[in-house]
Every structure is written in C-alpha cells, then in structure tokens.
Amino acid sequence: MKRSVGVGLGKHLIVEMYDCDVKVLDSIDLLRKALLEAAKSTKSTIIREFFHKFSPQGVTGVIVIAESHITIHTWPEYNYAAIDIFTCGEHTEPWAAVGVLKRALKPGRTVLMEIKRGLLEE
C-alpha cells in the first residue's frame, strides 16, 4: 500500500522528562509497571521486555512491541528520564503512552519531539 508524502510508516516520539520523582526513576519495578501500561495504552502488541538496574543508581528498560519499541533510561541523580516511543501502524496511539509516563514519573517539565519515520513518496 502506498502512503502519501508526510504520513509516514511510523511515529517516533523523543521524550525528555525533567524534575521527575526520584523514587520512580530508580525503581525497576515501578518503571516496568509504567512502561508496560504505556505500551498497552498505545494499542500495541507487547512481545518482550528487558530492564536493567545500574549501580549505584539508574534503570534502562525496553519494551519490544510488534509495532517497534518503547525505551527508558533514567538518571536519578539528575531527576531525568530519556524516553523513546516508536510505533508503526495506523492503529497505534503513541501519544497515549506519554500521558501514562507523565502520571508515573511526575515530571516538572517535559520536552517532546515527534519524528515521522518512513516518509515515502507517492
């Protein structure tokens, strides 16, 4: 199926969250719960998850979805989280994940950028 220029195959949200809840940023369990809920909110199919807790602090997490991925990397010492939400398909709603993650991390400030991926010519 051909797509119009500007529509793209997927949406990639780059999300920067500042002044977040330190307890959440350093908790593998709370972040896992938040990312799984975020993935479900996008109407995506969850395939696999992987989380790693760093010493002395910080967490990296990846939710692989059939439609691409949702990732997070946290720096509790800076109250900061870097998040990627990349979904493909017309049925997905990547912006829904942003709301879920904002409720979980309680950022004081959020910076977002949306990139349309796979821009094809007609």
Q: Which residues contact 90 (CB under 8 A, 6 or more apart)?
A: none
Return the pLDDT at 119.
Answer: 86
Q: How far apart are CA 88 and CA 80, in angstroms?
A: 27
Q: Tokens for 35, please give them.
A: 């990312």
Q: Which residues are catalytic?
A: 68, 73, 88
Give the pLDDT means over successive 10-residue stretches in the chain (122 positions). Answer: 65 98 98 98 97 97 97 98 96 96 98 92 67
For the entire predicted model, the pTM comes to: 0.91
- 44 C-beta neighbours (distance < 10 Å), count: 27
All structural domains of the chain: 17-116 (3.60.90.10)
